[in-house]
Copies of this chain bind each other. A is one copy, B any other.
Amino acid sequence: MLSQQKQPKALNIGRPRSPKIDRKVLAAAAKLVLSDGFGTLTMDAIAAEAGVGRMTLYRRWPNKAAIVMDAFVARVDPNTLFPSDGDYLETIRLQMRTMAKAFRGEDGVLIRALLGAAQLDPDLAAALRNRWTMPRRKMAAEYFREGMRQGYLRPDADPDALIDLLYAPIYYRLQMGTGPLSNAYVDAIFDHAMKGFRNDH
């Protein structure tokens, strides 16, 4: 959690920093990033768009990246990554396509902004890791371990290495722009990772 905690003195659950304001601010931040980009995003602009005083922003978040972080997480939070039915391996491919599709759209804009800002801000990097990356890695690792147990994947595989093999290229292409994040690209990554690149004859 990157939004500032400002612990109430007791278990003062009754007035926990009105979530109505949070919603207004996060919506405003998302809207502005998507329309004008993160580079020109301004605390003043967020406050104005949200109809909120600037002090309210500083009271709740340390900087604009933290706001965008929260806005991003609020968009994508609750979804199951790997549907439990269907062919095991194809489910992975479909999940990768789903992610690539999201990255082609608004989510891609937001996560590029966050990845960029995180390179300059260790706190933001930690938040991105804890709130976005690691939860997804955990779910994927679990799915992969299950696949190893059931014989779909090599029993000697390292789940973390598999995750990196499959997903790092998607982030890479998102940031480097070496080509489109198409289904064909996702399939190429997936297929090569399955078969390996060594020639066994």
A: residues with CB less than 8 A from B are: 37-39, 89, 112-113, 115-121, 125, 128-129, 133-134, 137, 148, 151-155, 157-158, 160-162, 164-165, 167-169, 171-173, 175-179, 188-189, 192-199
CB pair A119–B129 under 8 Å, yes or no, is: no
* Chain A contact residues: helix, strand, loop or mixed: helix
A143 to B192, CA, bound (A): 17
A35 to chain B minimum Cβ distance, whole angstroms, is: 15
A109 to chain B minimum Cβ distance, whole angstroms, is: 10
CB pair A176–B133 under 8 Å, yes or no, is: yes
A152 to B168, CA, bound (A): 24
Q: List 6 tightest A-B contacts by C-beta distance, closest first.
A: A116-B119, A196-B196, A168-B172, A164-B169, A39-B120, A168-B168
CB pair B198–A195 under 8 Å, yes or no, is: yes
CB pairs A–B below 8 angstroms (20 shown): A39-B120, A89-B198, A112-B119, A113-B120, A115-B116, A117-B119, A153-B199, A157-B192, A157-B197, A158-B192, A161-B169, A161-B188, A161-B189, A164-B169, A165-B193, A168-B168, A168-B172, A171-B172, A194-B198, A196-B196
A43 to B115, CA, bound (A): 24
> Which of the residues B154, B160, B188, B197 comes within 8 Å of A193, measured between beta carbons?
B197
